[in-house]
Amino acid sequence: MTIDCRDPLALAAFWRDVVDYQDDPAPEGYSSWAEYDAANCVAPEAAEAGATIVDPTGVGPLPYFQKVPEPKSVKNRVHLDVVVSVTQEWVDVQAATDRVVAAGGQILRISDDPNDQFHPRR
């Protein structure tokens, strides 16, 4: 999955924290992507053109965040749903919410409909 964005390093860091992924490990023989880029004469603008995060279990998708020059002009047509509790325990949802807010996310609304699966007392 590729996600176009203005700041791939920041967006990758946010989603890494939200979904408990890790930065893509550097190629074998290098301690970091910066070391790899320097050894392979990668221009700084190319080095910051994208970022990948990986599921440490090797099961989840492999998101790549790609830098694009143009600003966002319309509403996103795709969004990511993150399941934080298969039992839908509110304490699990609240802990995940706290982690997302700490990573830079924001709460848009809390449902006041007791029949809504996202209602805190359900």
Query: CA-to-CA distance for 42 and 58, rounded, in angstroms?
Result: 28
Q: Please say if the pLDDT value at position 122 is more than 60.
A: no
- Total number of domains constituting the chain: 2
pLDDT in tens, 48-72: 788 999 999 999 999 999 988 888 8
77 domain-assigned: no
97 and 48 both lie in a single domain = no
Per-residue pLDDT tens digits for 74-105: 877 777 777 776 676 778 888 888 988 998 88
Model pLDDT, residue 88: 66
Assess whether 53 and 96 both reside in one domain. Answer: no
Cα gap 60→58, rounded to integer Å: 6
CB atoms within 10 A of CB 16: 20
Same-domain pairing of 57 and 9: yes
Residues 88 and 114 in one domain: yes
Give the rounded distance of the alpha carbon of 84 from its chain centre.
14
Domain hosting 95: range is: 83-122
In a domain? residue 75 = no
